[in-house]
Amino acid sequence: MRLKTARGRSASSQRWLERQLNDPYVAAAKREGWRSRAAFKLIEIDDKYHILKPGQRIVDLGAAPGGWTQVAAQRVKAVEGRGQVIGIDYLPVDPIPGATILELDFLADDAPDKLKALLRDGGADVVLSDMAAPTTGHASTDHLRIMALAEAAAQFATEVLAPGGAFIAKVFQGGTERALLDMLKRDFAIVRHVKPKASRADSSELYVLATGFRGQS
């Protein structure tokens, strides 16, 4: 589908709108009640690797608008009171059944302690991070910014995960993701890159999946 160009709309905005209208994942998300197309990325990863299980404690970093939080709450049976899901974002997130939402920047000094205080027994079984800084249009700058977020998320994960826990985080291809992989390999039994089909083919977006947390040293 192509749109007639609206007066005052930039070419990039026009391309974004056309891509959204032609994206089957956007349509499926609306049809199935997910907050965003990103929900399908986590669904695909979990269907393949079986990370989320009933009764687990989940932390979702950068939760807005809530697609990953929705998936996590459904799969750990949080609505039934079996699992626990906590999402955090500096952007507002509409309430999600079974989830606790903390409206706070994850990079704030007090954010890790506030998350730990909410977690059952102070620990988590899975830490999710779909965080991404606003893009600048400069590829290397954008890469460094998202890698800094992924590294902060990984550090938090090593502080809260129970032995055997898992970590999933968004990264961009660009070279320095190797440093993050090396760091994770010290703390997890298996570390791999995954690119769900729901990630756009022309995007450098990947996810790092680390499983089998060895426990705090």
Can you say whether the dihedral through the CA atoms of 185, 186, 190, 196 is positive or negative? negative
Give the pLDDT of residue 187. 97
d(CA 96, CA 35): 10
Whether residue 157 sits in one domain with residue 84: yes
Number of domains within the chain = 2
Q: By the 8 A CB rule, do 165 and 124 touch?
A: yes
Do 84 and 145 share a domain, yes or no? yes
184 lies in the same domain as 155: yes
Task: State both tokens at 79.
Answer: 């609505």
Residue with tokens 């993701």: 177
Query: Pick the catalytic residue: 53, 114, 170, 197?
Result: 170
Average pLDDT, consecutive stretches of 10 residues, N- to C-terminus, the chain (217 residues): 53 49 70 84 97 98 97 97 97 97 97 96 95 76 85 96 97 74 94 87 85 89
135/177 same-domain check:
yes
213, two tokens: 């947390």
**59 and 124 assigned to the same domain:** yes
In a 13 Å sphere around the CA of 179, the CA atoms on its Cβ side amount to 10
Are 199 and 185 within one domain? yes
Domain with 1, as residue range(s), is 1-32
Is residue 4 among the annotated active site residues? no
> Which CATH number belongs to the domain containing residue 197 in this structure?
3.40.50.150
Provide the sign of the torsion angle of the four alpha carbons 23, 24, 27, 30, taken in this order. negative
Q: Do 25 and 61 reside in the same domain of the chain?
A: no
